[in-house]
Every structure is written in structure tokens, then in C-alpha cells.
Structure 1
Amino acid sequence: MTATLFRLPSGSVVDGWHVLRELGNGGFAVVYLVEKNGKPHALKVARHREASGDDKQTHARMVREATTLLMLDHPNIIRHRGYGYAETGNMYVALEYVDGWTLAEWKERKHPTIHEILRVFVKLASALSYMHERGVLHRDLKLVNVLIRKSDGEPIIIDFGCATYSMAEDLTEEGLPPGTERFRAPEQFKFLREHKNEHRARYAFRVADEIFAFGVMLYELLADPRPAEHRPRIALNNPMMPPPPVRAVNPRIPLVLSELVERILSRDPSKRPVDTDALRRELEEHLEHSGAEYMVPAHAPSEQWPSEPSGVGGPSVVPSNGPTPPKRATKTLAAGAALVMALTAAVTFWRVSGDVASQILDHSAPPMTSPLDMSLPSPAPMALLPATDAGQKEGSTVKMPTPEVLIQGRPTRVRNKVSAAECAALSLVAALAAGCPSSQIRPESFTCPDGAVRAMVNDLHWRRFDQFILTLDDRHDGDDQIWFTPGSDVVGVVPKVKGLNRRQYEVAPPGTRFYGKVYYLSDKMGRADGPALVVRYDRVKLPGQDEQPICFVVEGRSYGFKDGRVLASNTNGGTVVDRWP
């Protein structure tokens, strides 16, 4: 089988499923909107095994997903509609089509009351209890993997690509099972730390892990007025430091509910509800005894984007990145962040958030460690999570909105110029927006994406510490110095210039595209020449070939720092690594 990217063109037919259009794709599958007998469905088709970066397990993962779905039949769990093989031999799973919003989008568009949020989570807990009774663990619960159906407001758990069941074969070659880092229970990081030198050690995912992820979803809906917006957020799974109580972040939340969420997110798994049925019962009790304080929206409408007008928005099978924020500056973002940070320890590092809106029904969530190094450090105290597409785009002349901080409970605008003392008093979010020179955004040490080592060695023929030249952001000329926004995505490209070494022409020729994220290191990190730009690329596409997972890092000198952005050369050299630093 050749390593070509498999696509079904519109109008093609697979076992009677008429393909209308592609909805999305990931590392292991492509999802299509299809029609059969006049009804819409979703068709998830496995990619060619070589194209996935996981040449031995792509098919096995799809078989497991189909098997898992065949074991389940619940009104709040996505239902299968069949399975089979396309003409090319790629396995597919047909699923019901859900016209709905993700949990985060629903929160922003419908402004639900606390009572309505609890009603949804009671049904989710019931679905999880049903699932767990049958030995099934989802393992990737997050806001984009729950849809709220528009027609009746019912929540639907989707995307079982990471799921497992009793007696299932272990497909994971890494220390942790597949999943999204922000929703991992703290004990997973503790396991990695304790077994960092045991490369055969595998974490056994449990119901307690699922309950923690459930708690993260509930916390975010109660605490965040705009959970679909991609921006920095505090880490909720630091093994040593719990997040602030949700009531401290949002005073509208009743104390007893805040205490329940605090228990669900306990660092000690034994203090969480014993199982998801017990969790369901506790949530139901809150509903039964809820008073007037539960009948108000979780956040004031002024803190959220306007509700979606009636009739706006078509069927949603692939979660969007949330509603487009208005161009006006919002007053609550920095104020809320400042309040949270005032309640917690000082922020030091950013961690990479995995909760980016992914294609629905397409798992592609990689394990967080590589075979070469299982030592993932525990999250730094109250780390902030960088979110994709957050803030300004590189090269933009639009100024960041003037932030606010809380002084004696009242929002106060930060002046255009702030002193060093004032910078020290601000939260990281506010300090960055205010242009404080000592603020730092940096990635933690990271390990390779799933399959990256194999892809780099076997398919790309790269060697560790190979160095390649590329234009870091293909939206700008390679000869320019441009402003990079930490936390944003960039696509780099190998330029068609003279001077590339022979090896690069052979294994990363002109036209090769690198996909990654921007960071920087401040001058407090041992850089004598000022803040240093860091770009981490985790995917690559050579001309005429499919995308492959990689580990490639660019470190470059910066020439300026302003409004949280870094000025640096757009052409630089990078290095093939198996982790960084």
C-alpha cells in the first residue's frame, strides 16, 4: 500500500453511503457527511496506515472503536449505523449525524442557567455510568467531545477513538493512554514521574480518571463565561496544587455545588465520588434541592458573547473554534484571570493545552509521551494553558485590548505604561497584555507526538540533531523580521534558496511544510542577548507526501518585545530532537 492520503470525493458511494462533503480529518481518520435513504449520517474512514504515522495500529484502532460502539446503546451516547470497508480497503464506521453545538459553544450561545447545566451533567453522568457498567472507558472526555443537540437539548457523548473496554488489547506503546493533557487526572503525571525510568510501565486508566475529566468540564462551564474561546487558562490538574474553588472564580455558583466540584477535582482519587453512578446521584440531589440561586445564568449575559440569533448556523458535526469574538475589547477576560491568579501561587510556565477543538468522531489524540523518554514533569503551580488561535495574528497591527485588574473588588484599567513594581503585581495574562518585559511564555519540556520517532527514522530518514533551514511563518517574506505572538499556530516552509546543505535537499527539500506553535523564552532564562524565540513544530508534510508527526524545534534570537509579542527573523535553522530542552 502506498503512503498516499486517502480522500473520498463528493458524489462517491461507499456501501450505499453517498458522500456529500468532508467534515474533517485527523491523524487516523477522515470524517464525511454522507446520506443514505434520504437521511444524513457521519462516516468515519480510516486513513492509509502509512499516512497515519502509526503503520501498525490505525486499522486496529478503528476496529476497537467499532467494537466499542457495538457494545453501547444509550440516548446520550453517539450511535453506530454500521461498519465496513471502502474499495481501497480502508475500514469505516457509520455514525448518527448530530446537529448540535459542543458543550462550550452551547454555553456561549444559549446562556444556560446553573440548573440547566446541572441537568446536562446529570445525563452525562448517567451515560458514563451505563458505559462503565459495560466495562467501557471513554478516556477522552472534554468539551468538544460532547454535543448538545439543537432539536431537544440532549447531550451526546461522541468520539470513541481513544476508548477501551474490558479485556481489550493494549494498543498504547507509551506510559499514558491516549487523551488530552488538560483533562488528565493528576495521578497520571505522578505515575510518569515515579516510573520515568521504566519504559515498559503503563498507566492503568480508571473510572476515577474519567470522573476527574468530567469535573474539568463542569468546572469550565461554571467558571468560564466563554469556554469556547481559545486563550490562556489555568491548569486544573497540577498534582501538588488544586485550582481555586469555582465559587471563588464565579460568585454566582452556590457554595454546596462549588464544594462538590472541588471534591470531583480532588488530588486524591479516593476523595472523588466512588463511581459515576454515585456522581449522578449527588448531582441529582443538587437538582432536587436547588433554589432560586440555581435558576440564574451561570454568568451575566454581559460577560458572554451575544446569543446566536434564531435560525442562524447550519448542522454542526465538526465543532467549530467557537463563535467569532467581537472586535471590541472585552472587559472581563483579564479581570477574571487576575482574580484567579490573585487566589493562587505565582505563575511560572505555560503548559501545552490539548483541548483544541478537534474533528468530531475523529480521535487522533496522541499519547503524551514517547518511547524515548517517559519523564513528563508535573505541571508547574497553576500553569496557564496556551490555546491555539488566541490573541493577535503575527504581523497584525491591531493592538491588544487594554486589560483590567481587580483592585479592592473594582475593575480598573491598566495604564499604557506600567512600572516594574506594577508588573510584579499583575497576573501573567494582564502583565503580558500590559507589555511587562519580565513576563515569560515558554513550553514545558515536551516529548514527541505518538509515532513521531518511528516516522522520523523510518519514513523521513531524519537523524537526531539534523538541522534544517526554513521560513518560520509562510505568511511573511523570509527576509523580514516579523512580530510573533506566543501561543499562536504557524506554518513554516523550506524556501527555494541557494545554500541549503545537500542532506536537507534529500530529506527536507524546498516546499516542505512544518506545522507548529510559537513560544519565547525571556531573558531570565539564561539568554544574555534578550528574549529568545522558540517555535515547536510537531507535524511535517514533504512535497507529494502525507503529513507525518515529528519533533522539530527552532530557537532564534529576538530583536524586540512589545505587547506580549516577540520580534524575530522569519528565517532560521531548527533541529530534529526527541524532546526539548
Structure 2
Amino acid sequence: MHHPAQFPPGHTVHGWRVVKLIGAGAYGAVYKVEMNGIHYAMKVAMHRGTSGDEEKSDARLKRELGCLVHLGHSNIIAPRAHGRWPDFVSGWLYVILDFVDGYTLAEWVEKVHPTAQEVVRLFIKLSAAVDYMHGRGVFHRDLKLNNVMVRASDNEPFIIDFSAGDYTHAEDLTDAPLPPGTRRYRSPEASRFLRENGDDRDARYEFKVTDDVYALGVCLFDVLTAPQPASDSVKTPVEGRMMPPDPRVLNERVPGALSDAVMRFIARKPENRPPTAESVRRELVALTKEMGPEWVTPLHTLTAKPLLTPATGTDEAVKRMRPRRGLLLGVLGTALAAAALVGLFASKQAGQESSATVSGEPSVQRDAGTGAPLLVVAPQGDAGVPLGTSVVSPAPVASSPGVALPPQDPVQKESPSVKRAPIVANSSESPAMKAPASSGGRAEFLKKCAAATAAIALQMGCPGSSQVRPGPSECPDEAREAMFEVLRILEGQSVVVTIDKNQPGAMSQGGVFSDGPVRGIVRDGIRELPTGTVLMGRVWTGGGALLARYTEARLPDGRTYPVCIAIGEKGAEEAEAGPTPGTVSFNRSMYGYVVKEWP
């Protein structure tokens, strides 16, 4: 019998045929399913109601169902059925929902390049839906870009994921001062309550209409100011006592009237915000009468992006596109310049052992959509990262033979007008090398760094070649062979991983993480990757997010294989700021996905 996190394609649950896994979190897994030729979404609780799990996933999915049955709005996801599997009494709870063939709101911004006029129309519908739910006694409590889907065919928005939601007279599931939610979208008054009552486990914050209004305002702020909200987690900070800059200051394409309205929606004091989502809707409707070219011009600079298939994000034809000759010449020149820079650094480093410093020199990058090489010069401005922060490169990490470490990006700063494209290491180059431990070997290693190309320097772990988290790239052939041919694991299968073996705990428990090597352990495994398997990898914590990649698995019987296991099926996961600079707070355990390509 399959666990809810591991339903394979073709598996049936009371007649609903599983097409594929869409995603999984601490509380449940979501699948695309089919019945009678119609596609739906199926959400399954991670634990049975009688399991006593700390996450209370069964109770939370039941709460989500309770929220949805109170609602019936064209812009709120609709439930169609529910049940328990495999038996109706003690089985895993599942809920069948409408399937939205489209994108999250964050992805929609990147793929559609909307105008201010289109954004206003979309948020008019969202604010109407939020006001409707409030009128029915329901609070969402976790409104954010990833909890809004936009249908690809007509740009119709849908509010999804009520797992943190609440409704009148619902049972209290929260054992902390604040309800579940996402820190960035938490209202200032809720954050203040947590600061004042964080040590009082009996204190409970009374969630209000203005909390959801604030979160909706932050969503609009991000759509207007973040050109790549899905692929780049670095956004202008909105938390704290001080107001963020006006959207028009961050993006001159934002109309002034719209910029002013957003600042009212996210005012620090609730009495200075619109009192209801209906008030937000009316303000936005008034803006539809505004005229001028700034309302019909795309809000963000257009970049060469492929036409992606909704819900999959793939296009094989784009992968086969050949870069232009001029860009190739630029890449060659930049690679030589990068090698020279590494050589200069090596000559200084050979005489003294010190921490690597951040360089603002040009770096070879590739367009996030086409894969074509780009020459991007990192500016000296700040793009929302707190001033004074820096990243220090750790010592090179050695791996077992045949285990390739994930490629790493050079550190760079960017302004809102410069988009970050991930560096993709040349797969034809030699695999990662070990850095000698002796002082003489260290000098020899640095000389090799000086002679290496930029791509090889990244793979070797040379000083100055890290520490910004890497972008998408292919999993090494050795790891693919080990996973899919030797161990016979299916792509997309997941296991529950304790991210850092030294911080054991459940998904509901928080840990503190920083950049560097990590040793994880499989907490809830499968036959091919059993519980107790040790995973060797690396963690990146830049930009208020956590990315963990494991490249080696040591099974309980002692066998060791190269692997590609990622925490976060779609890349870096949003995290909260840690107690010290450079750290983040994140779940101690999370789902690790077997991947063919690093997300």
C-alpha cells in the first residue's frame, strides 16, 4: 500500500486515477487526478487522523474542507468530493478540488509580463473574492503569490490552499501565539503581538479582516516591484516598522496612482488601511478609469522567455535553441576574464589563508528562459538585501568518487533593472576535484584554479566561486544511473529528510541553517531509500530562502551512491530570517525529491 506522498502515476483512489504529483508540503500532498476524462486536483493529508502527528495534517485538511464548503465564489477554488482511503473510517483524508490549468501568481508575472491595467483587473477579482469569504466568516490567513493560481486560457485568478484558514466556531488547532502563515505577508500588528507574547504559549492573536487586506496589499506590491517573483526569492523587504519604498520608486513603470494605493493597502497601522477588501476593490475599480501609456505598458522589462506548458514549465524545443555567435564571443571573453580574476586571487591566497571576499566583476550567465549565454555586470546598488551583508566562501568540499557537487554561482549584487540568470556549468568539462589539505597541495590547487575556466573553477570549488545559490542544471549522469537503473527509484519520488542530522525534529519544528556542507538523514523513507539513509550535500540560505541539495546517499547497509535529491521540488523554499546574520529559520524536516534536473 502506497503512502499518500508516494502515489505513482496510474494509482487509483476510489476511482480517481493519479496523473502526477503536483507538490507536497508539511500538511499534505497534491496530485493531478482524472475521472471520466476530466482533470481535478486531489489533496491528501500526510497522516491519518489517529496517528497523533505533530503537524495535525488530518485536522488541518478537515479545517480546509470546512472553509471551502462555506464558500461558493468564481475566484475561489471549489471542492468537488472528499473521502478517506483506503477505508472510509480510519484512512487518509483526501479532498477533490477543481484543477486550474495555469500558473501561480508569481509565475504569471514572469510568463505573461502583465500591464498595470491587467494587474488591476486581476486584483479587483481577488479583492472581491476575499471580501466574499470574510462575509461568510472565513479568513484565509496565508494569502501570498503562491496561493493564487491564474488560469492560462483567460487570466482568471483563483485563491487556493486554505490549510491555514479559519472560520467562525472552528476548532482551534494553533498551539502558538500566531496562526500558521508566511512571515513576509504577516501584518505589522501580528508581528508586534508575537514580539510581545512570543514566550506565552497560551497567548492567541485575534486575526482580523485587515490582516488579510494587508497580505493582499503585499501581493500587489510584489507583483508591481519584483520582475521575477517565482525564480528569484530576493524581494524588497516590507517587514519592520519602516514603510518600504513606493512601488514607483522601485519600478518607474508603475503608475503613480496605483503606487499610492498600494502604500495605503500596506500601511503600518491598520486604521490607515482600507477597512475591508471591498474598500480595496472600490479603490482599484476607480483606477480603471485612468488613461495613458503607462497603464498599457508591461510593468517589467521583457526578456526572451520560452512559451512554457502550464503546470509543467518545460519546452524541449527551447532547450535545443542555439546561442547567437555574438553571445558566444561574449561568453569566451568573459570566461577568460573570470579565469584571470581567479588567478589573481590565487596568487594572493597561496601566501595566506583568509576568507574569500565578494567580487563585483562580470560573470558568465545564461538567460533563465532560453539558456543563451549572457554578459551581466553586477552593479554596485542594493536590491533589497540588507546593507552590510556579505557571503563568505567556505573551504572546498570533497566528495566521494563519482559524486558531483551541485554547480555554484559567483556572488553578485543586482538592482531591480538587472535580472539574475543562473550559471550553468559546461557538462562536457571534467567532474569536481578534491582540494588538497596540505599547504603545498593547497598552493598547487590554487594554481589549477588560476588555469581553469570559469565553469571548471565553479565545479572545483575554487575560492571566489561561491556562495550564491546555484540555478537549474542537469543531474550528473553517474547519479542518474545510480538512482534510476541501480536503485530503481522513480523520478519525483519523495522521502522525508531531516535536513541537518545534527538538528533532528519533525516538520513542525524549526531549525536554524546557514550556508555550507550538510549531512542529512532520511526520516521517513521508501524501500529504495530506507529510513536511516545518510545524505551528504549542501545548503544555501541567501535571499531569505533555503535551498538544499544532496549528492551522495549512504544506505544503512553501507552502500554509497551518487544521487540528486532536492529539498523543494521547484527550487529554493521561502524561509524566515534566522537569529544571526546569514542564517534562516526553516523546518527541521522536509520532503526531499529525487530529480533528473536540479530545480
Shorter chain as normaliser: what TM range?
A: 0.5 to 0.7
How many Å apart are 1:30 and its aligned residue? 1.6
Residues 150-188 of structure 1 show CA distances to partners (whole Å, capped at 9, x for unaligned) of 111101111111111111111110111011111111211
In structure 1, what is the equivalent of residue 548 of structure 2? 490
Matches within 5 A, 1:68-467: 68-88=67-87, 89-238=91-240, 240-301=241-302, 305-309=303-307, 312-315=308-311, 324=369, 326=371, 328-329=373-374, 331=376, 334=379, 338=382, 346=387, 396=407, 399=410
Structure 1 counterpart SS, 2:153 = coil
Counterpart residue type for residue 65 of structure 1: E
Counterpart residue type for residue 80 of structure 2: R
Structure 2 counterpart SS, 1:288 = coil
Q: Give the Cα separation in 2 of the matches to 1:219 and 1:21.
A: 33
CA, structure 1 residues 222+404, in 2 after alignment: closer, same or farther (shift >3 Å)? closer
CA, structure 1 residues 440+124, in 2 after alignment: closer, same or farther (shift >3 Å)? closer
Q: Give the Cα separation in 1 of the matches to 2:51 and 2:567.
A: 16
When the two structures are superposed, what TM-score results if normalisation uses the length of structure 2? 0.59
Residues 459-517 of structure 1 show CA distances to partners (whole Å, capped at 9, x for unaligned) of 89x9x99xxxx95489xxxxxx99975535235699869xxxxxxx9xxxx99x99699
What fraction of aligned residue pairs are identical, expressed as a percent? 35
CA, structure 1 residues 32+4, in 2 after alignment: closer, same or farther (shift >3 Å)? closer
Please say if residues 142 and 181 of structure 2, whose CA atoms lie closer than 8 Å, have aligned partners that are also in contact: yes
Q: Give the Cα separation in 1 of the matches to 2:15 and 2:174.
A: 34
Residues 189-248 of structure 1 show CA distances to partners (whole Å, capped at 9, x for unaligned) of 11011123322101111111111111111111111222212243332121x111111111
Structure 2 counterpart SS, 1:139 = coil
Q: Give the Cα separation in 2 of the matches to 1:400 and 1:484.
A: 15
Number of residues paired by the alignment?
417
How many Å apart are 1:295 and its aligned residue? 1.4
In structure 1, what is the equivalent of residue 24 of structure 2? 25
Counterpart residue type for residue 126 of structure 2: L
Q: Give the Cα separation in 1 of the matches to 2:164 and 2:538.
A: 38
CA, structure 1 residues 538+133, in 2 after alignment: closer, same or farther (shift >3 Å)? closer
Please say if residues 18 and 34 of structure 2, whose CA atoms lie closer than 8 Å, have aligned partners that are also in contact: yes
Q: Give the Cα separation in 1 of the matches to 2:195 and 2:41.
A: 40
Q: Give the Cα separation in 2 of the matches to 1:490 and 1:94.
A: 31
Q: Give the Cα separation in 2 of the matches to 1:492 and 1:330.
A: 30
Residues 381-438 of structure 1 show CA distances to partners (whole Å, capped at 9, x for unaligned) of xxxxxxxxxxxx966365456x5679xx999xxxxxxxxxxxxxxxxxxxxxxx99xx
Structure 1 counterpart SS, 2:123 = helix
CA, structure 1 residues 113+200, in 2 after alignment: closer, same or farther (shift >3 Å)? same
Structure 2 counterpart SS, 1:24 = strand
Backbone CA RMSD of aligned residues? 4.8
How many Å apart are 1:264 and its aligned residue? 0.9
How many Å apart are 1:440 and its aligned residue? 12
Please say if residues 107 and 227 of structure 1, whose CA atoms lie closer than 8 Å, have aligned partners that are also in contact: yes
When the two structures are superposed, what TM-score results if normalisation uses the length of structure 1? 0.61
Please say if residues 47 and 58 of structure 1, whose CA atoms lie closer than 8 Å, have aligned partners that are also in contact: yes
Please say if residues 473 and 490 of structure 1, whose CA atoms lie closer than 8 Å, have aligned partners that are also in contact: no
Please say if residues 49 and 56 of structure 1, whose CA atoms lie closer than 8 Å, have aligned partners that are also in contact: no
How many Å apart are 1:314 and its aligned residue? 4.2
How many Å apart are 1:84 and its aligned residue? 0.9
Q: Give the Cα separation in 2 of the matches to 1:34 and 1:41.
A: 5
Consecutive unaligned residues in structure 1, runs of 5 or more? 351-392, 412-434, 442-450, 475-480, 498-504, 519-524, 526-531, 548-581
In structure 2, what is the equivalent of residue 539 of structure 1? 588
Q: Give the Cα separation in 1 of the matches to 2:313 and 2:96.
A: 13
Q: Give the Cα separation in 2 of the matches to 1:195 and 1:349.
A: 32
Structure 2 counterpart SS, 1:489 = strand
In structure 1, what is the equivalent of residue 41 of structure 2? 42
CA, structure 1 residues 485+64, in 2 after alignment: closer, same or farther (shift >3 Å)? closer
CA, structure 1 residues 485+33, in 2 after alignment: closer, same or farther (shift >3 Å)? closer
Structure 2 counterpart SS, 1:216 = helix
Q: Give the Cα separation in 1 of the matches to 2:389 and 2:41.
A: 43
CA, structure 1 residues 323+32, in 2 after alignment: closer, same or farther (shift >3 Å)? farther
How many Å apart are 1:106 and its aligned residue? 1.3
Consecutive unaligned residues in structure 2, runs of 5 or more? 315-366, 392-403, 420-462, 470-497, 522-535, 574-579, 593-599
CA, structure 1 residues 102+339, in 2 after alignment: closer, same or farther (shift >3 Å)? closer
CA, structure 1 residues 297+338, in 2 after alignment: closer, same or farther (shift >3 Å)? same
